[in-house]
């Protein structure tokens, strides 16, 4: 009887010791997990804010400068800049927009109008004709790098 009582006590003590060890291990693990999560939050690179490129304003300026009937700049500027007449450029826009709907101006999810076809094709022609870099084209058309490269790939 005595041996049975001692064995039961030892078993209970062993189980209690295991529970304490497991609890301490779990506490250490959860503390380690918390430390790792905190470090990950600190080290995680934050996403850069979206730039307000005023792309709508730049699109209307581009239209006003070159492509409307009573443009601000004479036809010689368009001819010198794009190495073609206005009617040829407009014909290219029509053909490209009919071929690929990517170049057609659409509304985005928020209801704001997207880029004009003239902006996308101007960026593409600048790169192809002059070997301009994406940064140079970005300054002219106010488009992002990924949009310029997508326009170039779809045009080609």
The pLDDT value recorded for residue 53 is: 62
- Split at pLDDT 50, 70, 90, the class of 8 is low
Which comes out higher in pLDDT, residue 143 or 34?
143
Strand partners, 107: 113
Query: Residue 147: which of 127, 64, 49 has the closest Cα?
Result: 127
Query: Residue 58: which of 118, 124, 127 has the closest Cα?
Result: 118
The pLDDT value recorded for residue 145 is: 87
Cα–Cα dist 124/137, whole Å = 9
Residue 5 clears pLDDT 60, i.e. is over it: no
Cα–Cα dist 132/1, whole Å = 95
Convert the pLDDT of each residue in 64-107 to its tens digit.
Answer: 777 777 878 888 887 888 788 888 888 999 999 999 999 998 88
The pLDDT value recorded for residue 96 is: 93
């Amino acid at each position: 009887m005595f041996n049975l009582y001692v064995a039961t006590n030892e078993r209970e003590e062993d189980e209690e010791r295991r529970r304490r060890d497991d609890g301490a291990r779990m506490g250490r693990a959860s503390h380690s997990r918390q430390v790792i999560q905190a470090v990950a939050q600190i080290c995680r690179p934050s996403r850069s804010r979206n730039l307000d490129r005023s792309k709508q304003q730049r699109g209307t300026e581009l239209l006003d400068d070159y492509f409307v009937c009573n443009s601000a700049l004479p036809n010689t500027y368009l001819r010198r800049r794009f190495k073609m007449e206005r009617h040829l450029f407009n014909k290219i826009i029509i053909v490209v927009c009919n071929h690929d709907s990517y170049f057609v101006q659409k509304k985005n999810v928020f209801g704001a109008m997207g880029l004009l076809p003239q902006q996308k094709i101007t960026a593409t022609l600048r790169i192809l004709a002059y070997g301009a870099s994406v940064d140079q084209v970005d300054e002219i058309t106010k488009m992002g790098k990924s949009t310029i490269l997508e326009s170039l790939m779809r045009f080609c």
